[in-house]
């Protein structure tokens, strides 16, 4: 049973807020669960749902409660996709040794430091096992943090070669890191 939401932009302010409060009470938990499944982080999930409710508030009024719920669900999914893309892009830009250290370090205790050091050593061994040109490019790009142009100039190769060797080297490292875990 779908009931119309009659709180349009000309309706009294309390009516719109009451309708949104009803939607929030009825569907917030399921939307947070949906976002949590997509993101794996409760704080990010709650933030995504909050942003979508704010967006619905700004784009008021929906045709009815059913379309408002569809707006909320699709908004949560889209927001989670954006967050996932942002997280992936941020991870891609990190220097490899820092990325391993950040994912390995959970606290300041000695055991965690040992695990982080072992991870960094293992990564260094894997980088050393790469073919020479891939090793050089990966080291310049992700350890020394040189740009593609700077790497190309330093190694006296073309930018296309830098991109190709970096891609292949990273793919090899990712597969080997995944195999050894």
The first and second tokens of residue 34, run together, are 């949906």
138, 177 in Cβ contact below 8 A?
no
pLDDT band for 104, please (50, 70, 90 cuts). Answer: very low
Give the residue from 38, 70, 91 where a domain finishes.
Answer: 91
Q: How far apart are CA 171 and CA 84, in angstroms?
A: 20
Residue 47 C-beta-side C-alpha neighbours within 13 Å: 9
39, 48 in Cβ contact below 8 A?
yes
Give the residue from 63, 91, 119 where a domain finishes.
Answer: 91
Chain centre to alpha carbon of residue 130: 28
The confidence score (pLDDT) of residue 172 equals: 92
Q: Which domain holds residue 146?
A: 96-179
Asked if pLDDT for residue 65 goes beyond 70, the answer is: no
Answer whether residue 1 is part of any domain.
Answer: no
pLDDT in tens, 15-34: 778 888 888 999 898 888 87
Answer whether residue 36 is part of any domain.
Answer: yes
| Residues 82 and 106 placed together within one structural domain of the fold | no
33, 76 in Cβ contact below 8 A?
no
Nearest to 127 by CA among 151, 154, 95, 104: 95
pTM greater than 0.95: no
What is the average pLDDT across 64-89?
A: 81
Give the residue from 42, 61, 91 where a domain finishes.
Answer: 91
109 DSSP 8-state letter: S
Alpha helices per DSSP H over the chain: 13-39, 42-58, 65-92, 96-104, 110-128, 132-138, 148-155, 159-179
| Residues 172 and 103 placed together within one structural domain of the fold | yes
pLDDT in tens, 143-180: 777 789 988 887 889 999 999 999 999 999 888 887 66
Answer whether residue 45 is part of any domain.
Answer: yes
| Residues 18 and 73 placed together within one structural domain of the fold | yes
Domain of residue 150, CATH code: 1.10.10.10
């Amino acid at each position: 049973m779908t009931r119309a939401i009659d709180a349009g932009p000309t309706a009294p302010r309390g009516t719109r807020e009451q309708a949104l409060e009803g939607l929030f009470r009825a569907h917030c938990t399921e939307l947070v669960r949906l976002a949590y499944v997509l993101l794996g982080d409760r704080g990010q999930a709650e933030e995504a749902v909050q942003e979508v409710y704010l967006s619905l508030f700004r784009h008021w009024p929906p045709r009815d409660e059913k379309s408002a719920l569809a707006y909320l669900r699709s908004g949560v999914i889209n927001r989670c996709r954006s967050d996932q893309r942002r997280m992936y892009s941020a991870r891609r830009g990190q220097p490899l040794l820092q990325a391993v250290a950040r994912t390995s370090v959970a606290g300041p205790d000695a055991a965690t430091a040992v695990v982080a050091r072992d991870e960094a050593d293992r990564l260094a061994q894997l980088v050393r096992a790469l073919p020479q040109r891939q090793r050089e490019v990966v080291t310049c790009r992700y350890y020394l943090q040189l740009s593609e142009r700077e790497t190309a100039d330093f190694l006296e190769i073309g930018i296309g070669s830098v991109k190709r060797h970096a891609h292949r080297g990273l793919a090899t490292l990712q597969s080997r890191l995944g195999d050894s875990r």
